[in-house]
Amino acid sequence: MTNSNQPIYMTRHGLPLTIQLEWPFKRSATGADFYILHADCLLEDGRGLHALVALQLTLTVKEVVPSLEAKDVGAPSINNIRKGVDTQELEFLKSPKRVPIQFNSRSWDFKRNKWAFGEASEEQVAEFLKRKVYWQSKIEGAGAKVWMADPTDLQYLDTAAAQAMKIAQQVADKGIIALDGEYATPGPALAAEAEGIESAMRHALEELEKKHAFERG
């Protein structure tokens, strides 16, 4: 598993990831109309599986962002990779195979002028936050303080900070997490959720692996 200080990025289906971006974006050497950012997406289940990614940002997206620096496209870069896991485009291996992921205009809502990766329901946000606290604390220890209003997560879930904190409070009211401002630690009832959280991770991984096994024939 990863070392501490690395945020866990949960997928909607329950997979805990750490994502390392290799800045900066570079223009495609083949002359194609996109910029490339390499990344390593690690599955934090202790088996050392990862997916090497070549994120391909199109010229259409380049026109709507202030720059290709981390401060402007760091969060959507992570979320495009995270979405690639949720849509089963990526396969976790121990090999150095690098997989292209599109960073195109489908990630940008032109009507609302914002990034869009699909809106999550209140129930989905609650599960997401619970799982995030579980996995982050499992890796860093029970004292890990997990940010419930991380802007990258809010962008991925299409959820406002106030709404996320309202839902986090509902989870805290059940004793699953304990809140201190916008940060959470495991609550006394989180242990009872462990098997369900681990089972969701295993199921999501099994579905992803079956899909890629089918494609390979």
Full DSSP string of 51-66:
EEEEEEEEHHHHTTSS
CATH architecture of 122-195: Orthogonal Bundle (1.10)
Domain boundaries, the chain: 9-115, 122-195
Give 21's Cβ-side CA count (13 Å radius).
23
Strands (E), the chain: 9-10, 16-27, 34-43, 50-58, 98-103, 108-109, 114-115, 146-147, 177-180, 183-186
pLDDT at residue 5 in the model:
67
Strand bridging mode 108-109 / 98-103: unpaired
Average pLDDT across each block of 10 residues of the chain; the chain has 217 residues. List them in order: 71 95 90 89 88 93 94 96 92 79 89 91 96 94 90 96 98 97 96 94 88 68
pLDDT at residue 216 in the model:
64
The whole-model pTM stands at 0.88
